[in-house]
Structures are given as structure tokens and as C-alpha cells.
Amino acid sequence: MEYLYIKSLHIIFVVTWFAGLFYMVRLFIYHKEAEDKEETARYILQQQYKLMEKRLWYIITWPSAIITALTAGYLLYLSPGFLTQSWMWVKLAFVAALFIYQILCHKIFKQLQNNVCKYSTMQLRLWNEVATIILFAVVFLVVLKNAITWVWGVIGILLVSVILMLMVKVYKKLRAKKSWDENDKN
């Protein structure tokens, strides 16, 4: 019974961790877009985004990541047999990649807090998809475990990545067209 309670907490904090990561990078994009506003609006928006980012990062995202890691460690302690299964090691590699992603997001967070972001909104939109790809990989891996071969798994992840990148490019074109159309009206 203890295992199921810990597993439930683990799943809840995985969800809040991903929610934090998804929303954080979306805030990065909005924060960066605010640079294009007139001075007063830019200042107000960027101050608000800084506050929102700080609260999301330190109250939700980092605590969720830490609790996810702690509950995962405890689950592996309660059921060490999982460590003998190859799919678990692949999952742990993806989790390590997600922590690296979060650390890199932390660097972007610090840049934005200091008004020095080196990334374009397009780069940030693409960056936002990295967590999505990791999420897809981990969920399919956990659900299918050894029922899926590594080759098909890798092909599937690559396919999802390509589709997501294409969607970002289509969005960029539609947004540019909408902006062009709005300028024509004026």
C-alpha cells in the first residue's frame, strides 16, 4: 500500500513539474516578445513576467522536480527489481536529460531576470518542444516497457520531433501572415 501512495505522489509531481516547465518557457517567449513593445508597456510587462517566472520557478517547478526525484528514489528503494530492467535505465536517462533541460532553462530564467536574453522567440518556441519530446518518450517507455523495440521507439521519437518542429514553423508562417495582414489594414 505504501508503494501505491508514493507512486501516486510521484505521478502528481511529475505532472506539476512538466506543467511548470511548459508554462515557464511560454513565459520566456512572452517576456522576450515584450521587448518589441513601446517603453512603458515593455517595462510593465517585463516586470510582471519576471515576477510570474520567479514564482513559477521557485514555488512550483523546482519543488516539483525535487519531490519527483525523491519519490522516484523511494519507489526504486521499495522495488529495486526495476533497476534490472533495461527500459528503466532508458527512462532514467530521459529523466537526466529533463534535469539538464531544466538547468538550461534556469540559465535562460536568470538571463531574463537580468534583462539579457540571448535567444529569439523562435529559438524559445523550439526549445519549448524539447520537454514535450521527453514527455512523449518517457510515457511511451513506461507504458510499453519492453513491448516496443528500441528501433521503433527511436523512430517514433524522431517522428514526433519532426512533427513538432514542422508545427512550430507553420505557426511562425501563420503568425507572420497575420501580422502582415494587420499591417495592410492600417
- Retrieve residue 122's grid coordinates: 523562435
Residues comprising the binding site for heme? 10, 91
Q: How confident is the model at residue 185 (pLDDT cuts 50, 70, 90)?
A: low
Helices (H) then strands (E): counts for the chain: 6, 0
In 3D space, the residue among 95, 93, 83 whose CA is nearest the CA of residue 17 turns out to be: 95
For the chain, the structural domain boundaries read: 2-185
CA pair distance 67, 70, nearest whole angstrom: 5
Highest mean predicted confidence (pLDDT) among 17-31, 109-123, 142-156: 17-31
Question: Which phi and psi (to 5°) does residue 61 adopt?
Answer: -70, -55
The fraction of the chain above a pLDDT of 70, given in percent, is: 91
Per-residue three-class SS string for 14-77: HHHHHHHHHHHHHHHHHHHHHHHCCHHHHHHHHHHHHHHHHHHHHHHHHHHHHHHHHHHHHHHH
Which residues are documented as binding site? 10, 91
H or E stretch at 92: helix 86-113
Does the pLDDT of residue 182 top 80, yes or no?
no
Distances (CA, A) of 22 to 19, 25, 61, 98, 155: 5, 6, 10, 12, 24
Q: pLDDT over 90 for what percent of the chain?
A: 60
